[in-house]
Amino acid sequence: MPELNLPPFDHKTTIKDGKTFILDTIRRRYVALTPEEWVRQHFVHFLIEHRGYPRSLMANEVQLRLNGMSRRCDTVVYDRALRPRIIIEYKAPTVDITQDVFDQICRYNMVLQADYLIVSNGLAHYCCRMDYATQTYAFVTEIPHYSRL
């Protein structure tokens, strides 16, 4: 897997039937190691180890209903009252972060109403803070520490 613009971490992999799997610390099981999953695991570890995010308040592959269809958010971070605070969308390192990617996460946020939206392909990371009072958003220069959410 390619080197990412995220701190390295001590990951665990296994091979089954010729396929590589990586331990997902949030779901507590091995999942197929795809380029997108490589980004997810790096980013989750970055949030836990470098930004103080509690593992117990994060969920991967969160199901939601949007316009009658089932969708999945890559990662959702909750506050202690279990309200969604951040939605994170991951792409493979070879996938450019485009307006379509932001449109996708914005659609998910129509349901969850999180305070922050983050998009990462492991090389580029974008974070914006929502302002529901003015119906706007603003990009922030760094991923906030959990204590500042």
Asked if pLDDT for residue 124 goes beyond 90, the answer is yes
* 19 occurs within a structural domain: yes
* 76 occurs within a structural domain: yes
Of 141 and 1, the one with more pLDDT = 141
* 130 occurs within a structural domain: yes
Its domain, for residue 126, covers 13-148
**CATH code: domain of residue 119:** 3.90.1570.30
Q: Give per-residue pLDDT as tens, 101-114.
A: 888 888 888 889 99
What is the domain count for the chain?
1
The 3-class secondary structure across the chain, one letter per residue, is: CCCCCCCCCCCCEEEECCEEEEEECCCCEEEECCHHHHHHHHHHHHHHHHHCCCHHHEEEEEEEEECCEEEEEEEEEECCCCCEEEEEEECCCCCCCCHHHHHHHHHHHHHHCCCEEEEECCCCEEEEEEECCCCEEEEECCCCCHHHC
Asked if pLDDT for residue 142 goes beyond 90, the answer is yes
* 7 occurs within a structural domain: no
Assessment of whether the complete model's pTM goes beyond 0.75:
yes
* 3 occurs within a structural domain: no
For the chain, the average pLDDT equals: 94
* 6 occurs within a structural domain: no
Asked if pLDDT for residue 71 goes beyond 90, the answer is no
Q: Give per-residue pLDDT as tens, 14-68.
A: 999 999 999 999 999 999 999 999 999 999 999 999 999 999 999 999 998 888 8
